[in-house]
Amino acid sequence: MLSESHKQRYLRGINLPNVGEEGQLKLLDASVLIVGVGAIGSIASIYLTATGVGRIGLIDYDTIDIGDLQHQVLYETSFLNRPKVRAAQAKLQKMNPSITFEGYFQALDVRNALKIIQGYDFIIDTTNNLHTTFLVNQACVATGKPFSTAGYFQYQGQIMTHIPDSACFGCAFEALAPQELRRNFQGGVCGFSTGILGSMQAGEAIKYFLHRDMPHLRRTLLVNCLGIFDTQKLYFNKFLLRKNPSCPVCSKASK
């Protein structure tokens, strides 16, 4: 049962259709790992914290640079040179003292990925780094964990979600021309585009927890599709993806 203080704190969420006190309890019992606490991770972590996802892991090897403050909105000028994970954890804990945070001041790599990812219910990859995204994809498929990945290039954003048995990032990457997946920091970073991605990724995790036992789960998530938007040209398109039977990561033959 929800405590009185939780009922008051989360009332606006509880009142939403398909949430209720039962839904809020599901969120409080859930855990999310956010890989990368930069532009996208700032916003994803703020919404997950405010919404009351009970346990949040943050992993990032980087420290805060003056140039980060233009788009990594979790950080203040006084935080310069501090590890992002430590600064994020301190700030988020103040926003919602009842959430448990776990900080990993290190890179996610082949040696630690499986172990860390296994400890969480849902993974959010915000790194905008294809190498890390493939690693998250591989570790999540291997452990049966759902995840959302997002990337950006200037004003453009890309996002997809994987749940067991849906198309994985390997399936998606094979199906698209490489230029559709441009992800890098060259030519600038658009904070309001990365903010949309972080908000959407928090939403994917929250909807997963609310609907994971229900038959309509797939319809509520960006599974088997890649969402691509551009805030300058003002479009949002969904490209349908099929599971690739010869995907090197998720096909039965690869196991």
Residues lying near Zn ion in the complex (CB under 5 A) are found at: 168, 170-171, 247, 249-250
Q: In terms of CB distance, is 151 or 195 closer to Zn ion? A: 151
Pick 50 or 142: Cβ nearer Zn ion: 142
Nearest alpha carbon to residue 182 among 108, 128, 247: 128
Question: C-beta of 170: minimal distance to Zn ion in Å?
Answer: 4
**Closer CB to Zn ion, 34 or 168, in the complex:** 168
- Note whether 67 and 84 are within 8 A (CB): no
State the minimum distance, in angstroms, from the CB of residue 134 to Zn ion.
Answer: 11
Residue 27, C-beta contacts closer than 8 angstroms, at least 6 positions apart: 51, 52, 53, 54, 206, 209, 210
Of residues 59 and 168, the one with the C-beta less far from Zn ion: 168
Q: Which residue is nearest to Zn ion (CB)?
A: 247
The answer to whether the beta carbons of residues 202 and 51 sit under 8 Å apart is yes
Q: How far is the CB of 133 from Zn ion (least distance, A)?
A: 13
What element of type H or E holds 145?
none
Round the CA-based radius of gyration of the chain to a whole number and report it.
18
Q: Which is nearer to Zn ion, 79 or 134 (CB)?
A: 134
Q: Rounded to the nearest whole angstrom, what is the least distance from the CB of residue 222 to Zn ion in the complex? A: 15
- As given in the structure block, the two tokens for residue 252 are 């039965």
CA dist 230 and 25 (Å) reads 35
Nearest-approach distance from CB 172 to Zn ion, in angstroms: 8
* Nearest to Zn ion of 56, 171 (CB atom): 171
CB of 98 to Zn ion, least distance (A): 37
Contact 116, 106 (CB under 8 A): no
Residue in 203, 219, 253, 236 with CA at minimum distance from that of residue 51? 203
